[in-house]
């Protein structure tokens, strides 16, 4: 209303010139009052605290608590802007509230981190309205900071149960569908729902008066090398995350299970060259170090050099070991190179190939083309799908175990394949 009156006076000065000086004087006075109001707003004391959860993981809900202490002697109106990196949120978070005198307000901000790695959180910026409501004063309540987002660490269903049993060192209590029996000694324990009937020890059951089952003990101290492809094909997305995100999560889950069995685990990431080599200690600290050294691993826009990984393997693990290769074959030339590499690898080690299926290529192969370019795309997709099937068939004939899996089942498929592989390795001839 005040601004409207001053504007009317200035417009009226076109007919009555002396009103111009009155309008300018009122305008100057208003600016001075607004400046004083802004200074008073800047002097208002507000304290803020931000509490992060202990661990941020990709795709998992994370509640961030934001606490504001208001001015003790007056109500204030405040607008907050939480500037978050795109890896943490799609857009900055904004809050608008009126704080009662001396009151404490707490907000819970729900985040679902989108990208792994280190992300910068911009300063928490607040705009405070002056006591007269004429001006806003902006300030930074909290400084910028860096947060780390880790790969997925929790799973549901069977994969989650495998990891839970691995954490408790009770992997033998979960039945797995494998061929043959282990040649290792067994222990006796109470029967649990889900245990196969073939493992029941009938003499011990009769002696104790309750069901007793055999718990197979897998050989400890085996050697496992996980080769993680970080090449071009791993940059594409599956179910909202990159292929490398899925593969890295599966690799770390496999490292947890294998370490719990007492295996010596090494994770090696490669693209056109070796990127990182992490030896996982059997203790919980070793797994934490593996997460901290691999959480920010990124795929590169280069072709994967499987032969380079093969040449580096004697330095990584000179003794005969199980080698699990996590990759995604989406190129015909890459399929041929991968086949030659695995056949050479099979001469000295026990290779296991986990091939992440490309949902985009699979969709093109199943789709019905409606234009010429779509027909060409479908033909190319069918060639890649056929090449993958031929690759798997040739490798299996040569004794290489191959697992093809979609992204949402990659972790479970990798764990099941490795545990079955471990049982088969110790099966009596």
174-226 tens-digit pLDDT: 444 433 334 344 557 777 765 667 778 888 888 888 888 875 544 456 889 99
Instruction: Give the confidence band of 52 by pLDDT, cuts at 50, 70, 90.
Output: very high
Dihedral sign from CA coordinates of 12, 13, 18, 24: positive
Given the candidates 3.40.50.1000, 3.30.1510.10, 3.30.420.40, 3.40.50.410, the CATH classification of the domain at 219-425 is 3.40.50.410
What are the φ and ψ backbone dihedral angles of 101, each rounded to 5 degrees?
-60, 125
Mean pLDDT calculated for residue range 139-159 = 88
Position 360 pLDDT exceeds 60: yes
Q: What is the mean pLDDT of residues 305-329?
A: 90
Q: Which residue has the tokens 């985040």?
A: 111
Q: If you average pLDDT over residues 325-350, what whole number do you get? A: 84
pLDDT on residue 427: 46
Question: What pTM, to 2 d.p., does this model score?
Answer: 0.76
The residue written with tokens 């990182």 in the block is 276
Whole-number Cα distances in Å, 121 to 76, 93, 398, 420: 26, 11, 52, 44
Instruction: Please report which confidence band the pLDDT of residue 171 belongs to, taking 50, 70 and 90 as the band edges.
Output: low
Predicted confidence (pLDDT) per residue in 66-119, tens digit:
988 877 777 888 899 888 888 888 888 888 888 888 788 888 888 899 999 999
CATH superfamily of 47-150: Immunoglobulins (2.60.40.10)
Q: What is the pLDDT of residue 419?
A: 85
Task: Please tell me the predicted confidence (pLDDT) of residue 218.
Answer: 45
Q: Which two tokens stand for residue 131?
A: 């006591």
pLDDT of residue 283: 67
38-52, 186-200, 240-254, 269-283, range with the lowest pLDDT? 186-200
Higher per-residue confidence, 334 vs 104: 104
pLDDT tier, 266 (very low <50, low <70, confident <90, very high otherwise)? very high
Angstrom distances, CA of residue 4 to CA of 8, 26, 32: 6, 12, 17
Domain residue limits, the chain:
47-150, 183-217, 219-425
Find the range with the poorest average confidence among 210-224, 251-265, 377-391.
Answer: 210-224
Q: What is the percent of the chain where pLDDT is above 90?
A: 22
- Residues 142, 64: Cα–Cα separation, whole Å: 14
Going from the C-alpha of 227 to that of each of 1, 132, 342, the distances in angstroms are: 71, 65, 12
Mean pLDDT of the region 26-48: 77
Q: Residue 229 and residue 251: Cα distance in Å, rounded?
A: 11
**Rounded CA separation 395/338 (Å):** 10
Identify which has the larger pLDDT, 395 or 57: 57
SS (H, E, C) the chain: CHHHHHHHHHHHCCCCCHHHHHHHHHHHHHHHHHHHHHHHHHHCCCEEEEECCCCEECCCCEEEEEEEECCCCCCEEEEEEECCCCCCCCCCEEEEEEECCCCEEEEEEEECCCCCEEEEECCEEEEEECCCCCCEEEEEEECCEEEEEECCCCCCHHHHHHHHHHHCCCHHHCCCCCCCCCCCCEEEEECCCCCCHHHECHHHHHHHCCCEEEEECCCCCCEEEEEEECCHHHHCEECCEEHHHHHHHHHHHHHHHHHHCCCEEEEEEECCCEEEEEEECCCHHHHHHHHHHHCCCCCCCCCCCHHHHHHHHHHHCCCCCEEEEEECCCCHHHHHHHHHHHHHHCCCCEEEEEEECCHHHHHHHHCCCCCHHHHHHHHHHHHHHHHHHHHHHHHHHCCCEEEEECHHHHHHHHHHHHHHHHHHHCCCC
């Amino acid at each position: 209303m005040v601004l409207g009156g001053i504007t009317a006076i200035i417009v009226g000065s076109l007919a009555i010139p002396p009103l111009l000086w009155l309008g300018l004087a009122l305008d100057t006075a208003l600016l001075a009052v607004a400046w004083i109001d802004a200074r008073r707003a800047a002097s208002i004391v507000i304290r803020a605290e931000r509490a992060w959860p202990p661990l941020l993981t990709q795709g998992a809900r994370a509640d961030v608590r934001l606490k504001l202490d208001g001015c003790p002697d007056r109500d204030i109106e405040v607008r907050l802007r939480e500037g978050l990196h795109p890896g943490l949120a799609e857009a900055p978070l904004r809050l608008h509230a009126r704080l009662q005198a001396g009151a404490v307000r707490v907000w819970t901000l729900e985040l679902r981190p989108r990208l792994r790695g280190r992300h910068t959180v911009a300063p928490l910026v607040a705009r405070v309205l002056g006591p007269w409501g004429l001006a806003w004063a902006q300030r930074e309540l909290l400084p910028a900071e860096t947060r780390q987002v880790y790969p997925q660490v929790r799973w549901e269903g069977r994969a989650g149960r495998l990891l839970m049993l691995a954490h408790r060192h009770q992997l033998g209590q979960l039945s797995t569908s494998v061929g043959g029996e282990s040649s290792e000694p067994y222990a006796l324990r109470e029967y649990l729902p889900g245990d196969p009937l073939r493992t029941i020890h009938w003499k011990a059951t009769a002696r104790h008066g309750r069901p007793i089952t055999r718990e197979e003990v897998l050989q400890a101290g085996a050697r496992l090398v996980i080769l993680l492809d970080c090449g071009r094909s791993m940059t594409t997305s599956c179910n909202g995350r990159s292929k490398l995100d899925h593969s890295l999560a599966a690799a770390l889950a496999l490292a947890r299970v294998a370490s719990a069995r007492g295996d010596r685990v090494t994770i090696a990431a490669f693209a056109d060259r070796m990127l990182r080599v992490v030896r996982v200690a059997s203790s919980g600290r070793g797994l934490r170090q593996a997460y901290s050294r691999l959480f920010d691993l990124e795929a590169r826009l280069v072709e994967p050099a499987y032969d380079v990984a093969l040449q580096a393997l004697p330095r990584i693990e000179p003794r005969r070991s199980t080698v699990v290769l996590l990759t995604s074959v989406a190129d015909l030339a890459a399929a041929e190179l991968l086949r030659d590499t695995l056949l050479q690898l099979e001469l000295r080690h026990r290779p296991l190939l986990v091939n992440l299926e490309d949902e985009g290529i699979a969709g093109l192969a199943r789709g019905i083309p409606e234009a010429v370019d779509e027909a060409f795309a479908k033909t190319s997709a069918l060639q890649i799908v056929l090449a993958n099937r031929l690759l798997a068939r040739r490798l299996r004939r040569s004794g290489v175990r191959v697992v093809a899996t979609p992204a949402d089942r990659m972790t479970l498929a990798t764990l099941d394949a490795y545990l079955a592989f471990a049982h088969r390795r110790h099966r009596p001839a």
